[in-house]
Structure 1
Amino acid sequence: MKTFDAAATRAALTFERLVPALREAFAGDATVPPRHVHSIGEGAGRGTVLIMPAWSDAGYLGIKTINIFPGNSARGLPGLHATYVLYDAHTGVPLAQMDGNEITAHRTAAAAALGASFLARDDAANLLVLGTGRVAKLLPAAHASVRPIREVHVWNHRPEGARALAAEWRAAGWNAHAVADQPDALALAVRAADIVSCATLATAPLVRGEWLAPGTHLDLIGSFTPTMKEADPACFGHGARVFVDTDEALLKAGDLLDAIAAGALAATDVQATLAQLCRGEREGRTSGGERTVFKAVGTALEDLTAATLVWRDANGQRLA
């Protein structure tokens, strides 16, 4: 069994390759059983363990184990740690162990970009990122693979974290700025953005519907349990067109569950899943002025797609 460390895993997962691979995967067929979810610990040390299997007709079986501990930020540690094991689906023979953190971060950002390719305005150039973790750091590059991103702003509940990430992005060539640490600054940044992308572990809404301007695309990819939420119910009402990565989002996403409970959204209001968009069965954005929302909770199909890219690249089967 081969081992791919973080650098080797990351090298194969450019967004120019991963986003099209995800589009093909969502349009195709794969078996994705429900994830297993387990809670560990209590209070500030409470964590969640996800076990996510998937397999495809291409002959690969993958299982990701991911541990999420939101309290880690206070310890100076990432809130997410994951491992990924790829197997031969015909024999069960282990093929490789990969860095699950890189798999998770890249496939999550790539899925956000895939959603934006259908839902953000063609001229979307101003990106606002909420969060400073692994996924958040990748969002400018991910969205720039599908839209002409020219300016990036970042907000974090710890202002120093936002300033540090903005400086890191500027060093990489982005026109990047931290949202000011003052009242109403986040509201103003949301109103000015073409794409608002949330990649946090928040348990209370950060974005309010009243802040969103016509034509905005709201991308919610951080929360994945009923107790986690990044947007208030108003974000899903007032004519917003709502899309999800999979139907599982309606069962797992606190944002959606709160909006449904508040009467701002009905399950039947959801316009499409990523699979329906990728297969051309449903339409994405239909006008420049409409407001779109994409809510993702992640799927093992994305992990398997990313891991397959890494494996094929290492074995001289690089795809265009």
Structure 2
Amino acid sequence: MKLFGPDEIDAALTFPGLIDTLAEAFRGEAVVPPRTHHQIARPGEEAVLLIMPAWSAPDSETAYLGTKIVSVFFANGTRNLPGVMGAYLLMNGRTGEPLAVMDGNRLTLWRTAAASALASRYLSNPEASSMLMVGAGGLAPFLIKAHRAVRPLTDIAIWARRPEAAEAVVAELARDGIEARAVVDLEGEARTADIISCATNATQPLIHGRWLKRDAHLDLVGAFTMQMREADADALERARVVVDSEKAIDEGGDIAIGIDEGNYTAEKIAGTLTDLCHGRIVGRAEEGEITLFKSVGVSLEDLAAAIAVWESRARA
């Protein structure tokens, strides 16, 4: 059994390749059971264990089985540790033989950003040239690089509650030859951006529907609990909404809270990323349309990314 850390995963993946891999996976017939949540009792703090399995369809020529195990310890910031940590176990889908253990955090960064870019390939304006990244955490540079892989972005702005965090992402991107700028006027930038991608721990809306211009695409990645929210109900009402899975309807804070408050209904959702990839629904339905993609994470994405890493390194 092999161990793949962040460097090995980075060496194995590219966004153009992984985006295409995810598109193929969503068109496939993999088995994706519901992920399970386990509350972990810890004195004075909240913690959660998530288990996310998936496996290849029974008639697959090359079968794989995988499970991501993720811990979420909300007080880890006080320990100078990431709040979310995990590992991915990839196995032979025919024999159950363990093949590899992969860094779950790095794999998640890649697959989450690639899924957003896949949705953007269907939903955003093909001529989109400006992007506003809301949030400056670990996902920010990945989301920017992923969206650049599908749209001709020439103006990239980064906003964060702490301006120095946005500046740090700008510097990180510069080392990769990507020009970006840190900004402090969130509303002003949101009103002009072609693509807005949010990856934050916000508990109150940061993006308001009245700010969104014609043809804007809103990518909501944070707000994975009912205590979190990145966009208001007006954004949902003004947009054509697609979700990564039906779990986004009752787990992801943005949509679930809007429904719970009575400001939005599940019937208004156009469909899922699977529907897009299968052609059961169209991407942008009309010129000038505002689109919105909400993701909470799908174990199919982890499996596809892990297989891509394994097969790439096997060929190396």
Q: Which amino acid aligns with 1:179?
A: V
Provide the residue aligned with 2:104 in structure 1: 100
1:173 paired residue among 172, 177, 181: 177
Greater mean deviation of Cα atoms: 221-230 or 145-154: 221-230
Give how far 1:74 is off: 5.2
Q: Identify the residue that residue 211 of structure 1 maps to in structure 2.
A: 211
Alignment of 1:14-29 (within 5 A): 14-29=14-29
Once the two structures are TM-superposed, the CA of residue 68 in structure 1 deviates from its matched residue by 2.6
CA distance in 2: counterparts of 1:73 and 1:151, whole angstroms: 32
C-alpha deviation, 1:305, in angstroms: 0.1
Question: For 2:102 and 2:162, how far apart are their aligned partners in 1?
Answer: 31
- When residues 75 and 230 of structure 1 are mapped into structure 2, their CA distance, relative to the original with a 3 A threshold, is farther
Corresponding residue number in structure 1 for 2:251: 252
Aligned residues: 312
Query: Which of 122, 136, 139 matches 2:140?
Result: 136
Counterparts of 1:164 and 1:115, CA distance in 2: 27
Matched, 1:220 2:220: yes
Contact 2:224 2:251 in 1 (8 A): yes
Distance 1:158 1:69 in 2: 22
> Which whole-Å CA distance do the structure 1 matches of 2:143 and 2:121 have between them?
13
Contact 1:242 1:292 survives alignment (8 Å): yes
Cα offset, 1:192, TM superposition: 1.3
User: Given that residues 236 and 264 in structure 1 are in contact (C-alpha distance below 8 angstroms), is that contact kept between their aligned partners in structure 2?
Assistant: no
Correspondence list, 1:78-97, <5 A = 78-97=82-101
From 159, 165, 170, the counterpart of 1:161 = 165
In the TM superposition, residue 223 of structure 1 has moved relative to its aligned partner by: 2.0
Whether the aligned pair in 2 keeps the contact of 1:166 and 1:176 (CA below 8 Å) is: yes
Letter in structure 1 aligned against 2:40: I
- In the alignment, residue 2 of structure 2 is paired with which amino acid? K
Task: Evaluate the alpha carbon distance shift between residue 16 and residue 109 of structure 1 in structure 2; reply closer, same or farther with a 3 A threshold.
Answer: same
Letter aligned with residue 210 of structure 1: R
**In the alignment, residue 173 of structure 1 is paired with which amino acid?**
G
Q: RMSD between aligned alpha carbons? A: 1.7
**Is the contact made by 1:78 and 1:133 (CA closer than 8 Å) also made in structure 2?**
no
Between the two proteins, what is the percent identity of the paired residues? 45
In structure 2, the CA distance between the partners of 1:163 and 1:70, relative to structure 1 (3 Å rule), is: farther
**TM-score of the superposed pair, with normalisation by structure 2:** 0.94
* Structure 1, unaligned runs of 5 or more: none
Aligned to 2:290: 291
Equivalent position SS for 1:203:
coil
Q: Determine the structure 2 residue equivalent to 1:118.
A: 122
Q: Is the contact between residue 150 and residue 174 of structure 1 (CA under 8 Å) also seen in structure 2?
A: no
AA of the residue aligned to 2:263: A
Distance 2:262 2:234 in 1: 10
Q: Compared with structure 1, are the counterparts of its residues 230 and 74 closer, same or farther at alpha carbon in structure 2 (3 Å cutoff)?
A: farther
1:31 pairs with 2:31: yes
CA distance in 1, matches of 2:191, 2:84: 30
For residues 260-283 of structure 1, what are the alpha-carbon distances to aligned partners after superposition, in whole Å with 9 as ceiling and x for unaligned?
234432111110101110011111
1:44-83 deviation digits (Å, cap 9, x = unpaired): 8423321100001341000101123344445543332110
Equivalence for 2:6: 6
